[in-house]
Amino acid sequence: MDESAEAKNDHIGILNLQGGIVEHQDHMMRLGVACVPVRRKQDLVGLAGLIIPGGESTCLGRLIRNAGLDREICEAYEEGLQLWGTCAGAILLAQHVNNDAPHLGLIDITISRNAFGSQLASFHEEIRIPELAAESIPLTFIRAPKITKVGSDVTALGRIDDCIIAAETENILVTVFHPELTSSLAFHRHFAHKCGLTTDCDGKSSLIDPHWSPYSWTRQYQQR
């Protein structure tokens, strides 16, 4: 084990192979939650949680296998690691994927890829989830999948019409949209709490960050 791995206690990891990585990191920074990139099995040591970001599920699944992280993520989950999959990440965590083979298969949901349509069918929506925030939460859907069924141990957190768009168990959160592409910190705070971490927004009535913009993530490159 290297020294960097030992230093990550109570950090949240973001799988850094493909997809929306820096946007998640920016949201966690706004919450005052430390996070680190995960590329190797050593990077999983000491983490409180792991975010599997959106991207392209087939490509991301192959990269995880090639890096030898599929088995390591499953083992870390069995040892208590909290997991959050957004969009493609939700597909990778699902036990049942319509017209495809499952990848990690850790949460009892059935999911359909690209079920809302192509890239041109991307859209924004707002819903209320009182358990997460007092105000409406903005959502961004990009080639989004749909959760069509959940198991008895899975709680549906949000719906649009007859479609489940967010669900969770005690140790796993899945969202078919991209909360990292909006001004709301609600889902990121919720995941931090699932990981047993406190945030700078605890106790605040609003989780909408007025200083966020679609280009906020670029500050990470400007600070290098």
Query: What would the pLDDT profile of 21-57 be if each residue is shown by its tens digit?
Result: 999 999 999 999 999 999 999 999 999 999 999 888 8
pLDDT, residue 121, reads 60
pLDDT band at 217 (very low <50, low <70, confident <90, very high): confident
pTM, full prediction: 0.90
pLDDT, residue 205, reads 87
Q: Which domain holds residue 45?
A: 3-222
Q: Residue 116 pLDDT > 80, yes or no?
A: no
Q: Which residues contact 215 (CB under 8 A, 6 or more apart)?
A: none
Q: Which amino acid is at 186?
A: A
Q: What is the pLDDT of residues 178-204, one digit of tens each?
A: 999 999 999 999 999 999 999 999 999
Count structural domains, the chain.
Answer: 1
Closest CA to 209 of 27, 32, 35, 84: 27
Q: What is the pLDDT of residues 117-135, one digit of tens each?
A: 666 567 789 999 999 999 9
Residue 10 maps to which CATH number? 3.40.50.880
Which residues are annotated as catalytic? 87, 178, 180
pLDDT band at 16 (very low <50, low <70, confident <90, very high): very high
Pair type for strands 82-86 and 94-97: unpaired
pLDDT, residue 6, reads 45
Phi and psi at residue 42, in whole multiples of 5°? -65, -25
Q: How far apart are CA 146 and CA 51, in angstroms?
A: 19
pLDDT, residue 4, reads 44
Q: Are 104 and 74 in contact (CB under 8 A)?
A: yes
pLDDT band at 5 (very low <50, low <70, confident <90, very high): very low
Q: Are 148 and 98 in contact (CB under 8 A)?
A: yes
pLDDT, residue 219, reads 63
How many CB atoms sit inside 10 A of residue 133's CB?
20
pLDDT band at 1 (very low <50, low <70, confident <90, very high): very low
Q: Which residues contact 24 (CB under 8 A, 6 or more apart)?
A: 14, 35, 51, 53, 86, 180, 188
Percent of the chain with pLDDT over 70: 90
Average pLDDT over residues 165-169: 97
